[in-house]
Amino acid sequence: MGNRHFRISIAGAGNMAFRLGIALRDAGHAITRIWCRRRDAGEKLASILNNEGGNTAFTDHLAELLDSEIIVLAVSDNAINEMAAKLAAEAANSTLSGVPIVLHTSGATAIDALEPLISRGIPCGVLWPMMTLSKNKNLDFKEAPLLIEHQDEKTGAILKEIAFSLRCEHFSCDSAKRLQMHCAAVFASNFVNYALSLAFELAGDKAPYLIPTAIEAVRKCCIFHPDQVQTGPALRGDHKTLEKHLEMLQSLGMKEHEEIYRAISKNIPNRVKKDK
């Protein structure tokens, strides 16, 4: 698996389209076309994909994407169903003999969003990299687990080939499980980032000194269950320290910090006791 290369078109030019497009190109796939509502963004991504000898063209005609083996809808969640309907209409008027596989890349959107295509017999699937993606940070896709979903076994086999070509760990799951994993990723990433933002604000110019303890906390959670390595005054029932912290936050006028501190400190001991 992973030796076959596909002709792929991408709809979108945001973080997902950018990172996935580069990864697919580097894995040997031909990114033939980029479609985007914003011509400047689409042309820029096509140009970037051409930097390593690619042959990617920008198009503002959806019908031209149908000449690919795979179409990746790397668009916002709200736009997936609309894009599927437009592609289905273009496919109905197409004179091409074959039909491409159409994938979306959303963690929180069910495969049913592609129903306008599915109802026409066009093979569909989902390929969601469970990783925060950004244009300004390189990503080795070997570090990004891929969650895949498919309507038929042939599409599933092709999705696995793509995953192997990216050297990704991957697993199949339905839309309900993927939504659950997406929510879990919000806790593991977005909420952790929010907590660190509060911590950095409180520490001020000494915030860099928090980095080692933040890294160690995450490292331990990768080895043991988080509840096994939880520490701190809330778990110990150290009410004196808790009150000192809360009084200090009140004196600094950090109401947001105080509210979060109270809520989490209340829940920590209950959570750890429940899991013991």
Domains and CATH numbers, the chain: 7-173 (3.40.50.720), 180-275 (1.10.1040.20)
Residue 258 pLDDT > 90, yes or no? Answer: yes
pLDDT per residue as tens digits for the range 188-238: 999 999 999 999 999 999 999 999 999 999 999 999 999 999 999 999 999
Cα 124–Cα 148–Cα 42 angle in degrees, nearest 5? 65
Residue 2 pLDDT > 50, yes or no? Answer: no
Secondary structure letter of residue 136 according to DSSP: T
- With beta carbons less than 8 A apart as the criterion, state whether 9 and 70 touch: yes
Average pLDDT, the chain: 95
Name the nearest CA neighbour of 55 among 41, 74, 34, 35. 34
SS3 of residue 219 by DSSP: helix
The structure tokens listed for 269 are: 């001991």
Angle formed by the axes of helices 255-275 and 192-203, nearest 10°: 130
Weakest mean pLDDT among 46-55, 70-79, 142-151: 46-55
Q: Which residues neighbour 184 within 8 Å (Cβ) at sequence distance 6 or greater?
A: none
Burial letters 42-59, b for 16+ CB under 10 A, else e: bbbbbebbeeeebebbbb
The predicted model gives 81-110 an average pLDDT of: 94
Q: Which residue has the tokens 């829940």?
A: 267
The model carries a pTM of 0.91
pLDDT per residue as tens digits for the range 129-141: 999 999 998 988 8
Weakest mean pLDDT among 1-5, 126-130, 187-191, 259-263: 1-5
Q: Beta strand pairing status for 57-59 and 30-35?
A: parallel
- With beta carbons less than 8 A apart as the criterion, state whether 126 and 113 touch: no
Separation of alpha carbons 230 and 273, rounded Å: 11
